[in-house]
Amino acid sequence: MELLDLVTSNQIINITIISWFITQVIKVILVMLTERRVVLERFVGAGGMPSSHSATVCTLTICIGRVLGFSSPEFALAFVISLIIMYDAAGVRRAAGQQASVLNKMLDDWHTANQEFTQIELKELLGHTPLQVAVGAFIGILIGSFVAI
């Protein structure tokens, strides 16, 4: 129970979790509007518009800056980690998703020719476009800047 009390009494953690939640809800709503269907997997899945990774780390970074100061070592650490996470989301994980797409196409073609093969579908929506990362970062900065601590 001590851990739960510690986590729920930390305003920075609470605001950061709220930021993640809001961003994930936005993903579900955008899929509903664009594809006219409910895809609840978007609430917990990686990838998509906006980047909840970016929103979460930017909210955390801004909150740390507001509480401990923007010249504090903690802010510097959070800022650098945020940049790494956002770079990874738009770079490495996006490339992995594109590779999964190519591999799925190759496996599909091979499966068509070899019926005894059991096809395994690789997850393609792993990363983000730079725009998705930027929108997520913007949402995170807004939430971190304007929610009371």
CB neighbours of 30 closer than 8 A, spacing ≥ 6? 48, 49
Which pLDDT score is estimated for 52?
93
Residue-wise pLDDT for 17-36, tens only, equals 999 999 999 999 998 998 88
Asked if residues 80 and 107 have their Cβ atoms less than 8 Å apart, the reply is no
Which pLDDT score is estimated for 110?
65
Which pLDDT score is estimated for 88?
86
CA distance 30 to 139: 15
Which pLDDT score is estimated for 121?
63
Domain boundaries defined on the chain: 2-91+127-146
70 pLDDT higher than 60: yes
Asked if residues 145 and 16 have their Cβ atoms less than 8 Å apart, the reply is no
Which pLDDT score is estimated for 51?
93
pLDDT band (50, 70, 90) for residue 39: confident
pLDDT band (50, 70, 90) for residue 47: confident
Between CA 66 and CA 82, with CA 46 as vertex, the angle to 5 degrees is 30
**Cα end-to-end distance, the chain, whole Å:** 23
Residue-wise pLDDT for 97-134, tens only, equals 666 666 667 776 666 666 665 666 655 555 778 899 99
